[in-house]
Amino acid sequence: MARRRSLEPNQRGLALIMLISILAMGGLYFFVSQFNSVRAHQDRDLKTAQALKMAKEALIAWSVMSTTAPGQLPCPEDTSLIGMATEGQAMASCGNTLRIGRLPWKTLKVGDLRDGYGEPLWYALSPGFRTVPINSATPAQLTLDGTGSAVAIVFSPGPPLAGQTRPAISAAVPPAVANYLDLSNGSGSTAFASTGSPETFNDTLLAINSQDLFSAVTPRLAGDLRGYPGKGLQGYMDIHGYLPCAATAASAGLQVALTPTGLFPYNDPDMAFDTATNNRLANNNWFGILTYSAPDCGTATAMSATITIGSKIVSLRF
């Protein structure tokens, strides 16, 4: 009996150790589960942020390269092409009003961009950015959280919330915006929101404002104005060896002597533009709103100029 009693404390101690081990393992499992959950959430957020950033950059790059109207943005996806090899292309035409749809990833040449939940990105386009004239004075009409304005907004819709259904889509059954974007974002108005109650809102979005867009467009326009041998400022330089003076509002695009800063002297006969460049600049009224400055204009030392659009200044040296 003495031997049996002597074993009982050891057994109780072993049981306690096992209990502690079980509790420790349970705590470790909970910790690892929580860690993995947080890590998975962070990974989804990172993928979403990267997709939105890539979409924003692609939209701006597409706009800069427009041959007719730098500053113009593409229409949303053409839903009639869903399920076809051309799925992801933008609508050829969508008017000049508010447009909301999926991102036209094929037109932007960025691949089928998706958020961290595997959902395609969405895209809202402000009125005014489809039909010429389009320039830095064109008002951005999308508001965000009741303030400011945006030219466009790209969205990650996240997973569906209560009340949202997302059936299999096709050209015959295109995706409905209210099943993807939340609250005012899916209402068809120009007022958008970036936050809301988790029960009713899980959109993540990234806006493109006028500064974002036209800071990128300005160097392209400056290149058009610079021209090449026989055309633009370079054409004028080829003939005279120096840069012209600026025009004024009253000079109809002709340079005015001793006027170093003003409007661009686009009408000077020694600075003819090719037809495509002239149309791109004239049809969007860039000649009427940008500022041209050439110190010492009209003299042999006038070898540089600046082009200013809004707060963006581009220097040209010859």
State residue 187's pLDDT score: 95
Chain mean pLDDT for the chain: 92
Closest to 138 measured CA to CA, from 65, 63, 223? 63
pLDDT tens digits along 7-36: 566 666 776 676 666 766 665 555 545 545
pLDDT at residue 304 greater than cutoff 70: yes
pLDDT tens digits along 248-273: 999 999 999 999 999 999 999 999 99
pTM of the model: 0.87
Q: How confident is the model at residue 41 (pLDDT cuts 50, 70, 90)?
A: confident
State the DSSP string of the chain. Answer: -HHHHHHHHHHHHHHHHHHHHHHHHHHHHHHHHHHHHHHHHHHHHHHHHHHHHHHHHHHHHHHHT-SS-BTB----B-GGGTTSTTTTPBPS--TTS-EEEE--HHHHTS---B-TTSPBPEEEE-TTSSSS--STTSPP-EEETTEEEESEEEEE--S--TT---PPP-SSSPPPGGGTS-GGGGTTSSEE-S---TTT---EEEEE-HHHHHHHHHHHHHHHHH-BTTBHHHHHHHHHSSPPPPB-TTTTT-B-TT--EEB--TT-TT-PPPHHHHHHHHTTTHHHH-EEE-TTTTSTT--EEEEEETTEEEEEE-
Higher pLDDT among residues 275 and 22, named by residue: 275
State residue 46's pLDDT score: 97
